[in-house]
Amino acid sequence: MEFSMKPAQLKIKYLTPGVAVLILLAFNGFVFLALRFLYGLGYVTNLDLQHPWGIWIAIDVASGVALAAGGFTSAALGHIIYKEDYKIILRPALLTAMLGYTFVAFAVFIDLGRYYYIWHPLIYWNGTSPLFEVGMCVMIYATVLYIEFLPVVAERFIGKVNFKGIFSFLNKPVDSLLRTLNRGLRKTMFIFIIAGVVLSTLHQSSLGTLMVIAGEKMHPLWQTPILPLLFLLSAIAVGFPMVIFESLIAARSFKLKPEMEVLSGLGRMVGPLLGIYLAFKIGDMAIRGTYVYLTEVNTQSVMFMIEVIVGVIIPLRMFFSEKVLRSKLWLFVASTLVIIGVLLNRINDFLVAYSPPYAFQSYFPSIGEISVTIGFISVLVLLYRAFVMIFPVISLPDKKLITQAKYAVRGGAK
């Protein structure tokens, strides 16, 4: 690398037309959310006695957790395997994971019939329940992510704490608090980083255990005792594509030059990881003989084929091609396919495969459910944008060059 990269706050304008659209979408979601709290789940969702879980669980929670896997895979790569070259992806991945998990927790909250009892698992334990384990791990992991982010906050504000007016007396104590925390964390951070990776492997896999108990209600194409392993492997495989996907989008919308060298390096690891996932998926299918279900043409078999071919096999082939790894566009396409693949897998696992025995009608999400999900994603993007402006998250080549570089790229794009 020619210049040393250093995380810095982005100096960009917050409000753009795209941002305005996101705000509208978020507001729309908020309206339906308000109705849910006023009149109950039945009022805004299409859930019924046969279909207790909908897209709020399948997309917001299950896919949310999977797609936030970039946080722990990059922590494993950057901190534990200790590859210095990938340092610049650590903070963006951490931020995504932190925001992602916050939203997963929030999605669980709104989906709970008795949301105000969300803390009950802390005191009423049920060790046989995989949901209990997922809940606890997610709770602890989210806390760990916040702790991991603290040094970034400290870096931003140490020496710059500046409350105005009557709060100005707080300046000194807050500053010294940040300093103490930062000093303490510098020595102990490794504990949290390792804990984060362990917790992730645990709940990523237990999320797969969730549907195992549904037994015969699950279509055999997905129902397998190794579901937890498949969930873990696919989460690991989707981690780096997610980082690549975000970096490329961020680079585009913040008008920066993407670090292609780093991204290609990440991409090079995706192929083998996807390969392992595919091997287990196909191997499991061969052992259990479930390929016979592929000869029937129905929603399940078609969705399975799309999931595996579009979401795994095609990107697998792409990630092994040097041309793809070097091209911004193709790398983006391949990463997007992996993400779609995992998203589809989670939707398939929680919704498509689930065929309740006495369904009078099948489940399709309501406008309200879709609005809330889209609203969530919008707020997530909005917060991400705000965070990279407030905190030094995204690495820029040399601090003094920031403003110049911005104009240089802008000019070049014309």
Cβ distance to other proteins smaller for residue 193 or 316: 193
Cβ distance to other proteins smaller for residue 130 or 267: 130
* Residue from the set 304, 354, 387, 391 that interacts with other proteins by CB under 8 A: 354
Residue 213: CB minimum distance to other proteins, A: 4
Listed in sequence order, the residues at least 6 apart from 24 whose beta carbon sits closer than 8 Å to its beta carbon are: none
In terms of Cα–Cα distance, which of 33, 53, 55 is closest to 44? 33
Residue 198: CB minimum distance to other proteins, A: 5
Determine whether 409 is exposed, middle or buried from the number of CB atoms within 10 Å of its CB (0-12, 13-18, 19+).
Answer: middle
Residue 163: CB minimum distance to other proteins, A: 30
Q: Which residues pair with 218 in a beta bridge?
A: 354
For position 187 contacting other proteins by CB under 8 A, the verdict is no
For position 357 contacting other proteins by CB under 8 A, the verdict is yes
What letter would DSSP give residue 1? Answer: -
Torsion of CA 248, 252, 256, 259, to 10 degrees: 20
Integer Cα distance of 86 and 103 in angstroms = 26
Task: List the structure tokens of 79.
Answer: 């901190």
Stretch that binds other proteins, among 23-31, 187-195, 314-322, 368-376 (CB under 8 A): 187-195
For position 37 contacting other proteins by CB under 8 A, the verdict is yes
3-state secondary structure of 360: coil
3-state secondary structure of 10: coil
In terms of Cα–Cα distance, which of 325, 138, 126 is closest to 240? 325
Binding flags for other proteins, 191-220, as an x/- string (CB under 8 A): --xxx-xx--xx--xx--xxxxxxxxx---
Cβ distance to other proteins smaller for residue 28 or 201: 201
* Residue from the set 40, 184, 272, 283 that interacts with other proteins by CB under 8 A: 40
Residue 280: CB minimum distance to other proteins, A: 15
Q: Interaction with other proteins in 264-293: which residues (CB under 8 A)? A: none
Residue 106: CB minimum distance to other proteins, A: 15
Cβ distance to other proteins smaller for residue 115 or 293: 115
Contact call for residues 46 and 366 (beta carbons, < 8 A): yes
Q: Interaction with other proteins in 107-166: which residues (CB under 8 A)? A: 108, 111-118, 120-121, 123-133, 135
For position 74 contacting other proteins by CB under 8 A, the verdict is no
Cβ distance to other proteins smaller for residue 50 or 182: 50
* Residue from the set 330, 356, 383, 409 that interacts with other proteins by CB under 8 A: 356
Total residues at interface with other proteins (CB under 8 A): 68
Integer Cα distance of 238 and 232 in angstroms = 10
For position 259 contacting other proteins by CB under 8 A, the verdict is no
In terms of Cα–Cα distance, which of 252, 266, 246 is closest to 95? 246
Cβ distance to other proteins smaller for residue 2 or 216: 216
Contact call for residues 377 and 343 (beta carbons, < 8 A): no
Cβ distance to other proteins smaller for residue 80 or 408: 80
Torsion of CA 100, 105, 109, 110, to 10 degrees: 10
* Residue from the set 42, 173, 184, 283 that interacts with other proteins by CB under 8 A: 42
Cβ neighbours, 10 Å, residue 180: 11
Integer Cα distance of 151 and 186 in angstroms = 8
Determine whether 341 is exposed, middle or buried from the number of CB atoms within 10 Å of its CB (0-12, 13-18, 19+).
Answer: buried
For position 185 contacting other proteins by CB under 8 A, the verdict is no
Cβ distance to other proteins smaller for residue 192 or 304: 192
Positive or negative, the CA dihedral 45, 51, 53, 54 is negative
For position 45 contacting other proteins by CB under 8 A, the verdict is yes
Cβ distance to other proteins smaller for residue 9 or 129: 129
Stretch that binds other proteins, among 42-50, 307-315, 323-331, 403-411 (CB under 8 A): 42-50
Angle at 201 between CA 237 and CA 244, to 5 degrees: 30
CA distances from 48 to 30, 295, 367 (A): 22, 31, 16
List interacting residues with other proteins (CB under 8 A).
Answer: 37-43, 45, 47-50, 52-53, 76, 79-82, 84, 108, 111-118, 120-121, 123-133, 135, 190, 193-195, 197-198, 201-202, 205-206, 209-217, 225, 228, 354, 356-358
